[in-house]
Structure 1
Amino acid sequence: MTEERINEIARLCETMAIDSLWLYTSEEANYEQKKSEFVQIVGYLVRAARVRLAKNGEFLSGSIDDQLESLENALPKAGTPEALALESDGLAGGVWFYSDACPAGIVWVMRNDQGDEWFEWT
């Protein structure tokens, strides 16, 4: 996925929850490819300081790589009911991201023209 495409996704999803990023993975991709694209999108946004990962009102600790690995490892395995739900086109597809099984959501890092920064919790 190109940097340009990831920035377009970020623009479209800004201030939305983490499941919105999942919805913008390639429709033609299989589940494992979608997982890879999703982690790539989240990783790019975290490294670019556009989002931070958090759970239950607390930012995740550890390195960015450790946080992304935790997210990637927690994503449902292909063929499981949870993975099939994520692959669905219906609203139920993103429910996993709101479950206890998901280790993180995203917090958007917002900046105004003066450089002031605040967090938009989703």
Structure 2
Amino acid sequence: MKTKSICGVILASRDPKALAGFYSKALGLTFEREEHGGLDVHFGVDIGEIHFGIHPPKNLGRPEVGRSSTSIAFNVDSLATVAATLNEMGAVQITEPHDEGFGMVASYEDPEGNPFEVVELSYDFGS
């Protein structure tokens, strides 16, 4: 058996529509309303080859939502621009923008306490 790739990142949310709105405003993503496989309404967007889904906890068999040890990293064109937008939105900033050798990184929490990173890569990981 061989793992081909990571195909999705899924968050549990008390209010999937509102959380999709947060990521839409912060990162310019366009989520679609999804309802399939007997699951409750949820929202998703494809970013490259990875599907980013936001579901009610019931869909994922999870009783709770919020802070975990897992963080999503979003590669952006301009960390400064996205950081300014997040600051205007009142997002909780965990770390200031800093250089981690592969690029500039800043960490935040979304409105439900999920940690995420905004990354401006200094080179292409695919090369």
Normalised TM-score (structure 1): 0.31
Q: Which is richer in helix?
A: 1
Of structures 1 and 2, the one with the larger relative CO (CA 8 A, separation 6+) is 1
Which structure is larger by alpha-carbon Rg, 1 or 2? 2
Q: Which is richer in strand?
A: 2
